[in-house]
Structure 1
């Protein structure tokens, strides 16, 4: 038995005495940091990093007398090296497949999942080549194929570019609003004189926006689903007029928030409220919302408008006096009356009284004609009652003046 044991020990392969890393020769910090080169019962080579090690040190076999493990750092470097070699071989294979050959002409093979667009740009510095991928590829295709109408949609599909495009559109709207509210432009909404308020219409406002601020108008149309162009062509229902004016009023309110001078429609609303008997509290609350002006501004505007209400009546009065023969008699009688100081007489006094009465009667006829014409003409509904009252006051003044003339001449007789 003692003789068999040495023979058995001599035939058993010797194990590695030193347990270190096969690449760097350092000791292992722990068992987790030790990675064997062989695996399984058949002791096969590990495929993830051992191939790179065999390229450096030769074949790895069991019982070659060298350490059969590597550390963490060497294993990581071997993996990177092996991955680099594989990528290099794959790129060479792709180039070899891309070469023009008879077989490739008949059955070309292209990877379906690696689609990209190559764009060549010619600039002042030279030719530049760019490869477009993802959503940018659609933009390049639209440019090359001339589908320019599809470019905005393709650009908006790119993440991050939609915000930039929206900012550019908002800059255009801001530029148009600045031009509308400027003093140099003198918009219809700035004109608040009595004659301008009488001629104000919403159609004029929409035409002004269509010509000067088309993007601002399209923004209002998109928000209100009302088309001003379709309404102008007559392709609308009667109920669409209300929507069109509502849209215009919303736009005016936005412009008034930008500039307080854009308030011509607000004066219209204030005149209607004053005619309806609204209280100061209503004016104050609605003025804060930008729907009307204050009660004080409304009264000031009414006072300004009242100065020109009887201008047409006075003009008709002057025309009637020039055309009436009674005025000539009045002029002759006044001359005779001045000359009666030298030769007084009852006949001259009677002629003077008759001439004055005729002149007063002509004024009365002219006043009646002017009042009837004024009341028959169409005008703003909120001003008709006020004009009628003013005309009645003018008529009363003419009657009183005629009565005073008759009484004064009766006393003289």
Structure 2
């Protein structure tokens, strides 16, 4: 979007209105005079400025043509009726009032003179100095308070009046949308290391809403302020709403979705629940949720898995001894705990560092998500 997309006179976006192809350059023309020169003849001075558009839409060009055609007739009417009004005013003068008696003059108060009533109105005039010329203009009533408060550095009042201005309101809206768009691009870029990009099992274990809020404040402070206003500064609602909204733009920002997946899976949610919520960008699909659940399960009980592997490899004495040293943390030695009456009477003696427990096993495993390879199972037997 460039400045030339807007009409200099009526401020409409010609690309949106699909009239850009019929626009005209105001300061250059194949057949002189140009539009700016024609406006000068009509009494309006338009000069090229760096922050303003150089083009005019077809509607405004047609209005200028109609004004040039009808202006001579209007001037003739104006001259005729000015003379007529002056003649009528001379003929229809009111008669001279009679003299007021002297007694009445003493009792009647003197009426205020019309000149005593203050008719002064504050106006704001702007002077623009170019290398080639100097322009001086009196501001319109709509722009007058905006420019006045900007000069006085009263930013709150200036912004309040700018939001009420019809044309400035649309431009401010476009600027705010552009600012939010740039912040969303930062969040969706992997180079900025946004927390929602990190969805590995180790990252999900350390996920927190406090870290999510810090990253939003670092990369998208303006968007975060909007969500704070909507949720009345509710941190959890703000972070959740922002994460779901940005995932609608980039589906791979799914750390919070995996976090919600684990809550639903723990509660036994069915596949249809994931299907509906994934369409709202709240969760992932059911297949991805199951895959991530298996990845998380591989890291559960890492210390126990290490101990189990050390028992299988009995040839390595160092690892075997290390495994039993770790078991000392789980069982109290006889030196630190007083023996019970049953232990005193028992003839079986156990080492102080570890113990072997044998028991029968009868375990029923109920699967939340059943499949051909993953169904309900019953384990029976003995374990050591």
Q: TM-score range by the shorter chain?
A: 0.5 to 0.7
Q: Where do residues 290-369 of structure 1 align in structure 2 (5 Å cutoff)?
A: 290-314=281-305, 330=317, 363=323, 366=326, 369=329
CA contact (8 A) 2:275 2:286 kept: yes
Q: Secondary structure at the match of 2:192?
A: coil
Question: In structure 2, what is the Cα distance between the partners aligned to 1:78 and 1:313?
Answer: 103
Q: Where do residues 80-229 of structure 1 align in structure 2 (5 Å cutoff)?
A: 80-83=79-82, 112=119, 115-226=122-233
Structure having greater relative contact order (Cα 8 Å, sep ≥ 6): 1
- For normalisation by structure 2, the TM-score amounts to 0.52
Q: Secondary structure at the match of 1:291?
A: coil
Q: Specify every segment of 5 or more residues in structure 1 that has no aligned partner in the other structure, as ranges.
A: 1-75, 88-107, 227-242, 321-325, 332-357, 373-385, 387-395, 404-413
- Which of 255, 258, 264 is residue 273 of structure 1 equivalent to? 264
Question: In structure 2, what is the Cα distance between the partners aligned to 1:316 and 1:122?
Answer: 84
Structure 1 residue 134 displacement after superposition: 0.8
Deviations, residues 13-52 of structure 1 (Å, cap 9, x unaligned): xxxxxxxxxxxxxxxxxxxxxxxxxxxxxxxxxxxxxxxx
Q: Secondary structure at the match of 1:312?
A: helix
CA contact (8 A) 1:316 1:370 kept: no
User: Which of structure 1's runs of 4+ aligned residues deviate more than 6 A?
Assistant: 84-87, 108-111, 316-320
Question: In structure 1, what is the Cα distance between the partners aligned to 2:226 and 2:242?
Answer: 10
Deviations, residues 205-254 of structure 1 (Å, cap 9, x unaligned): 1111112111100110111121xxxxxxxxxxxxxxxx321221111110
CA contact (8 A) 2:224 2:238 kept: no
1:255 and 2:246 are equivalent in the alignment: yes
Structure 1 residue 255 displacement after superposition: 0.3
Larger fraction in helix:
1
Q: Structure 1 residues 110 and 277 mapped into 2: Cα distance closer, same or farther (>3 Å)?
A: same
Deviations, residues 48-95 of structure 1 (Å, cap 9, x unaligned): xxxxxxxxxxxxxxxxxxxxxxxxxxxx967733417989xxxxxxxx
CA contact (8 A) 2:187 2:194 kept: yes
Question: In structure 1, what is the Cα distance between the partners aligned to 2:147 and 2:223?
Answer: 31
Q: Structure 1 residues 144 and 245 mapped into 2: Cα distance closer, same or farther (>3 Å)?
A: closer
Q: Secondary structure at the match of 2:127?
A: strand
Question: In structure 2, what is the Cα distance between the partners aligned to 1:217 and 1:79?
Answer: 59
Q: Structure 1 residues 260 and 288 mapped into 2: Cα distance closer, same or farther (>3 Å)?
A: same
Q: Secondary structure at the match of 1:168?
A: helix
Structure 1 residue 121 displacement after superposition: 1.9
CA contact (8 A) 2:146 2:159 kept: no
Q: Structure 1 residues 111 and 135 mapped into 2: Cα distance closer, same or farther (>3 Å)?
A: farther
Question: In structure 1, what is the Cα distance between the partners aligned to 2:265 and 2:254?
Answer: 17
Structure 1 residue 179 displacement after superposition: 0.8
Q: Secondary structure at the match of 2:136?
A: strand
Question: In structure 2, what is the Cα distance between the partners aligned to 1:253 and 1:371?
Answer: 47
CA contact (8 A) 2:196 2:253 kept: yes
Q: Secondary structure at the match of 1:272?
A: helix
